[in-house]
Amino acid sequence: MNDSDLLATVPIFSDLSAKVLDELLSRMTKRSYQKNNMILMEDEFGDTFFIIASGSIKITRVSEDGREVILAMLGEGEFFGEMSLLDGETRSANAIAIEESNVLILKRHDFLLFLERFPRIAISLLTEMAGRIRKSDQQIESLSLSDAEHRIGITLIRMAEELGTIRQGKVEISNLPYQQDIANMAGTSRETVSRMMKILEDKGFIKRSGHSLSILDYSQFKRTFS
Ligand code: CMP
């Protein structure tokens, strides 16, 4: 997919005409990051907004004792870096490439100019940010209330929604994150993820093969864990 086709599929730009998308693209620069490269660092000042053209990015914070907490995993067509442009504060979190990734970058001035010129972008941005707060609320609830099996269950539901494809009641996640990353999303250890995945598999909830995972009856899984 070329960059204009990609921009047209980005939900927050879905209402823009081809002409405006071209103008937007002409203001953007492109950058590539290798796996594990840091794109944004928490607490730094920044003046750039990012759209993911390909690959995937994790949004993290590091706890006092050095543990990584994954707040979100973002993929093609999604954005990040908007918060500090909007409130003028430092970056709220780190952004790290999970795999080789390409991003399109817009400077603060152009980002704010487009929001003013096209209020529908602002509304779409707010819609997406509301969705992110909902997910964070679920994550807080899961981290504070649930036992390990439920935390892993809730994390798998989140990955199913973000990365999976649903067909005939079954979800396939073909690019399953590493167990350490799943642990950092669920607020538990890699060993617990490994143990709980085995239990979920033995109970017939999931099936694994290589880097793929299927949730066999997604409605039942959601009823059990959310
Ligand atoms: P900014 O604060 O500029 O830099 C870090 C970025 O991470 C932030 O903008 C958001 O784009 C993104 N981010 C921070 N917290 C979350 C979250 N809970 N869910 C998804 N993205 C987030």
Per-residue model confidence as pLDDT tens digits over 145-187: 778 889 999 999 999 988 899 898 999 999 899 999 999 999 8
Atom of ligand 1 nearest to the CA of 80: 11
Residue 175's CB is within 10 A of a number of other CB atoms, namely 14
The answer to whether residues 174 and 126 touch, using CB atoms and an 8 Å cutoff, is no
Q: H helices of 93-118, where? A: 108-117
| Per-residue model confidence as pLDDT tens digits over 19-36 | 999 999 999 999 999 999
Which is the closest atom of ligand 1 to the Cα of 91? 2
Tell me the two tokens of residue 114: 């487009």
Cα-to-centroid distance, 208 and ligand 1 (Å): 31
CB atoms within 10 A of CB 4: 12
Straight-line distance from the first to the last Cα atom of the chain, in angstroms, rounded to the nearest whole number: 36
- CA atoms within 13 A of residue 82's CA, in its CB half-sphere: 18
Distance 42 CA to ligand 1 centre (A): 10
Q: Find out whether 21 and 13 touch, Cβ atoms under 8 Å.
A: yes
pTM value is 0.88
Give 84-143 pLDDT, tens digit per residue: 999 999 999 999 999 999 999 999 999 999 999 999 999 999 999 999 999 999 888 888
How close is the Cα of 32 to the center of ligand 1, in Å? 19
List, chain by chain if needed, residues with CB within 6 Å of any ligand 1 atom. 40, 46, 59, 71-72, 80-84, 91-93, 95, 132, 136
Cα(92) to centroid(ligand 1), Å = 6
**Residue 119 tokens, joined:** 């209020």
Q: What is the dihedral of CA 111, 59, 75, 192, to 10 degrees?
A: -170
Q: Which residue has the tokens 């990353």?
A: 181
pLDDT of residue 145: 78
Q: How far is the CA of 83 from the centre of ligand 1 (A)?
A: 6
Q: Alpha-carbon distance 145 to 137, whole Å? A: 12
Residue nearest atom 8 of ligand 1, based on CA coordinates:
81
Average pLDDT over residues 25-49: 96
Residues 193 and 182 sit within 8 Å (Cβ to Cβ): yes
